[in-house]
Chain A
Amino acid sequence: MSTTDTHAAPQREIKTTEASAVVVRFAGDSGDGIQVTGNQFLTTSAVLGNDIASFPDFPAEIRAPRGTLPGVSGFQLQFASEDIFTAGDTLDGLVAFNPAALKVNIKDLKPNGVLILNEEEFAERDLVKAGYAKNPLEDGSLAKFSVFKVPITTLTRRALEGTGLSSKETDRSRNFFALGMTYWLYNRPMANTETWISKKFKGEVAQANMTALRAGYAYCEATEAFHERYVVPPAKAQPGKYRNISGNSALAMGLVAAATRADKPMFYGSYPITPASDILHELSTYRRFRVTTFQAEDEIAAVASAIGASYAGNLAVTGTSGPGLALKMEAINLAIMTELPLVIVDVQRGGPSTGLPTKTEQADLLQALFGRNSDSPLCILAPRTPGDCFHVAFEACRIAMTHMTPVIILSDGYLANGAEPWQVPKVEDLPPIEIHHPTEPEGFAPYRRDERTLARSWAIPGTPGLQHRIGGIEKQDVTGNISYDPENHEHMVRTRQAKVDGIAAEIPPTQVHGAPSGDVLVVGWGSTYGAITAAVNACQAKGLSVSSVHVRHLNPLPADLGDVMKRFRRVLVAELNLGQLRMLLRARWLVDAVGLNKVQGRPFTRAEMQERIESMIAGRETT
């Protein structure tokens, strides 16, 4: 390996500035390796001990035309020495690989923010593709930022001279050059990424990426223009072992953990759909845990096969996004009718219809609750952070198998692809999931119920003497025989409802973040947790009377939630839809809640949340 003078002491004064939190975004074409670059920075920062949060934001097209605005892929992350809850509202640093990336992202960069540009991508035709009439590098429009115009392409090619790689090949290492620059700028060690490169790539490609990374670092070290570095010390976290985890990965592991603690083989039936496919990918590598993944011919077969696997005694799960959930509903009703355990993962995305496949939204709550024929109750849970996806997945499996009911998990694109540091749970801290399969023919009846949970018995095929038939036609309670009897039907409808309602008895008391009473209570669910908490903290720091509640159990709702809301003068329900939870809360408790609603395919910012709360408290707004 060629040794450049990477670590030679620079002959100039370099100022080091300490910051408690920094927000950086990498942006470029979807083929530029933006997600890889961002993830490397994120992992390195996590391993350094910073609190981290990320927001990958990429187009639905795999390779949109190069250099165009729709093709811009972004990866934003915040790393901090304090507790953070979001990937940040505005940017301290922006690395833009081309004019289109600059144009899409520059509005988010703070004044004096660091802006790193590949100046070689600003030729006339690049500017035209991005819709620039004048070259922003020359027209003074970037004057308020700390701009570094760097010939990244040439520098990368030069660093890789003599490797025998073509310029087309060396250009693929440009993202590592840029990553190296940001490592210098933000004082990050390269070791973690070097290890990753040597595992991920082979031979000369690994060597090229490694060299480009170091060359980028060395370039900043050696170049006069770079005279300020930033330091973000480690965050204070609870003692323990941590790892960086994305929502989809945490969810997959939560399912496997539940299967293991229930001592059950697991079946995952799924049809590829953004942004849920990564769960299928990850689970397909867990064969050693007796996880069977089945890529079905369609969404319906995915859920139907899971129902079959549940009937045969597996922990059965199906995963999808909103459009797929719509297709699964008839089959989910079969699981409700036959009272079989089933976990349905809906990684929500912008809709309706195909909508915004790669963007986030929380607009499937009412679909999950009501999108089936007849009175058809099931349990709904929502994770609040990427790491929480693990615990919610585990809880969903537990409820499904111990209450004999389908459970829908409402994750979303933001949680699925976002990442955070996650304290690795100890296996022994995960409660065992105890399941009873009847084996005794004497007195057996398929719809005989547990007195407490109303769960019917889960007798599985292969058990001698317990042969029985189930199906979608209404059943006589206890015997499970077909019954069209009017009184029995009402009894069964009410029993299915009572069974799901009864899960509320297991929901822990609602935790209020802040004072138990006051002016404003912000109620949220799912991935808005970060923005809500950050905004509420900021308001509380200003002395405002604001608290928040984050609902994990969306059906049944926590029984005490109504009382909690009554202790506040105003209730603000913040969600990425037009007011779905708000409608449910108003209907259930006649609470005069107002909504903060946003449907842009993007998460809330702390600022917009805070502004709304402050305006409510200042009385600038009436219901």
Chain B
Amino acid sequence: MSTTPLTKKDFQTDQEVRWCPGCGDYAILNAVQQVFPELGVAREKFVIVSGIGCSSRFPYYMNTYGFHTIHGRAPAVATGVKLANPELSVWVVTGDGDALSIGGNHLIHAMRRNIDLKIMLFNNRIYGLTKGQYSPTSERGKKTKSSPLGTVERPFMPACVAVGTECTFVARSIDVQAPHLKSVIKRAHEHRGTAFVEILQNCNIFNDAAWAFMTEKDVREDQQLVLEHGKPMIFGKAKEKALRLRGLALEIVAVADVPESEVLVHDETNRALAFLLSQIGPPFYPTPIGVLYSVDAPTHDEGVTAQLDEAIEKQGPGDLAALLNSGDTWVVK
């Protein structure tokens, strides 16, 4: 392959992108195409695996290896890809319905195993491709085609599910905030093990402005808590608000009213803190974005590879004739 640095153009395909005009997926595609050339990975080493849904068309628009699989099963297919060839950089693109409803089992088990997959969940809180039914992240009471009187189901908070599975990397970002999104994607790539990234994404056709309460320019500072490891959790237009711990809960305080030592400092490695942060949001709290949790732990794929290597080292490479002749044998003359 050419040794000239890769560019965004290298990751574009000749396929016509068929998302609705104005869809948040365009922004995410753009961010990924910008980040991938910077990761130092050869283009042929990327594999993007998706399930079913609007977001899952993603692989067709990336000039890498891609596999558009079936509804909910992308993490399972990606697991097979990664175990078969651990040298590949394997990414999963999925949505709130694909990952948390029909594919919930595969998602939680991939995260539990800590297999080295990068999972990007585009959360638009609606079923788009099937034209507007409520999803497992739709807010209670939401009126949709399949819930004309309002849904009576309680929603999942994807990041909270991820922390619950002991996923070793949990982050959240937003489709329209490209610099932040790109930095989170980069962090996900650098993480060893399963990296789960919830990307808040707007479906302008079936659930327009679902995230406007926190993405509109005039409310961003008040509604977003931008997490940075080792930095105090301060937010607000004038950086006037902060979080502090009260008992087992988070509390919003005025920076002016409390000593600096009482303001919570973000610690990515603190799972209890990540669990608290993964659950907060409107109407009382800002929504945390950035890396909620990141720890180093043994990965599934490394464990599998180590067992193969160790077996070959200890027993020698498999000898088929010896295998066939194992057990009690006898000779007929």
Contact = CB atoms under 8 A, between A and B. Distances in A.
Interface of A: 43, 46-47, 49, 192, 234, 237-245, 253, 256-257, 260-261, 265, 267, 269, 286-290, 292, 294, 296-298, 300-301, 304-314, 316, 330-331, 334, 338, 424-427, 460-473, 481-482
B81 A304 contact: no
A464 B42 contact: yes
Contacts of B66: 467-471
Given A243-B328, A469-B67, A260 B320 contact: yes
B263 to A, nearest CB: 41
B205 interface: no
Contacts of A468: 65-66
Residue from B1, B68, B312 whose CB has the most chain A CB atoms within 10 Å:
B68
Nearest to A267: B84
B17 to A, nearest CB: 12
A294 B70 contact: no
Interface string B70-86: 10010011111111110
A308 B60 contact: no
Contacts of A466: 44
B44 A470 contact: no
B315 interface: yes
17 contacts: A47-B328, A240-B331, A243-B325, A286-B318, A288-B312, A288-B316, A289-B318, A297-B76, A301-B76, A304-B77, A308-B67, A311-B77, A312-B80, A334-B69, A461-B44, A464-B43, A468-B66
Contact of B106 (A192, A297, A472): A297
Interface string B289-333: 000000000000000100110111001111011011111111111
B59 interface: yes
A305 B332 CA distance: 43
Given A292-B304, A309-B81, A313-B84, 7 more contacts: A307-B80, A308-B77, A309-B84, A310-B80, A461-B45, A461-B85, A469-B13
A290 B318 contact: yes
A257 B311 CA distance: 18
B225 interface: no
Contacts of A298: 105
A465 B42 CA distance: 10
Given A301-B109, A308-B49, A331-B73, A241 B331 contact: yes
Contact of A192 (B77, B310, B328): B328
Contact of A296 (B67, B76, B328): B76
A286 B311 CA distance: 8
Contacts of A312: 47, 80-81, 84-85, 88
A471 B80 contact: no
B34 interface: no
Contacts of B76: 296-297, 300-301, 304-305, 308
Interface string B142-172: 0000000000000000000000000000000
Contact of A461 (B15, B68, B81, B323): B81
B320 A311 contact: no
Interface string B1-37: 1000000000001010000000000000000000000
Contacts of B304: 292, 294
Contacts of A426: 321
Residue from B15, B77, B328, B329 whose CB has the most chain A CB atoms within 10 Å:
B77
B128 to A, nearest CB: 17
A292 B84 contact: yes
Contact of B105 (A244, A297, A338, A465): A297
A193 to B, nearest CB: 11
Contacts of A286: 318, 323
B323 A265 contact: no
Contact of B44 (A289, A292, A464): A464
Given A308-B78, A467-B63, A469-B60, A287 B311 contact: yes
A558 to B, nearest CB: 28
- Say what secondary structure dominates the interface of chain A: mixed
Nearest to A240: B332
A424 B70 contact: no
Contacts, number: 212
A181 to B, nearest CB: 22
A256 B83 contact: no
B64 interface: yes
B59 A469 contact: yes
B81 A287 contact: no
A298 B88 CA distance: 24
B328 A253 contact: no
B38 to A, nearest CB: 18
B95 to A, nearest CB: 15
Nearest to B10: A467
B218 interface: no
Given A304-B69, A305-B80, A471 B59 contact: yes
Contacts of A292: 83-84, 304, 308
A363 B296 CA distance: 49
Contacts of B73: 300-301, 304, 331
A277 B149 CA distance: 48
Contacts of B257: none
B44 A467 contact: yes
Contacts of A462: 44-45, 65, 85, 87-88
A463 B1 CA distance: 10
Contacts of A427: 320-321, 324
A377 B63 CA distance: 31
A253 B320 CA distance: 9
A424 B332 CA distance: 11
Contacts of A192: 328
Contacts of A330: 70
Contact of A256 (B52, B77, B320): B320
A54 to B, nearest CB: 14
B74 to A, nearest CB: 8
Residue from B42, B43, B311, B330 whose CB has the most chain A CB atoms within 10 Å:
B330
B317 A288 contact: yes
A461 B65 contact: yes
Contacts of A256: 318, 320, 323
A481 B69 CA distance: 15
B332 A304 contact: no
A330 B43 CA distance: 30
Given A49-B332, A427-B320, A462-B85, A471 B63 contact: no
A241 B44 contact: no
A308 B81 contact: yes
Nearest to A298: B105
B77 to A, nearest CB: 4
Interface in B97-143: 105-106, 109
Given A260-B318, A464-B1, A469-B60, A305 B79 contact: yes
Ranked 8 nearest A-B pairs via Cβ: A308-B80, A471-B68, A289-B318, A287-B311, A305-B80, A304-B76, A312-B84, A469-B66
Contact of A242 (B65, B78, B79, B332): B332
Contact of B80 (A49, A316, A460, A463): A316
Contact of A238 (B47, B60, B323, B332): B332
Given A307-B77, A464-B1, A469-B60, A46 B328 contact: yes
B308 A290 contact: yes
Contacts of A267: 80, 83-84
B1 to A, nearest CB: 4
Nearest to A466: B44
Contact of A243 (B82, B106, B329): B329
A482 B324 CA distance: 46
Contacts of B109: 296-297, 301
Contact of A241 (B52, B88, B329): B329
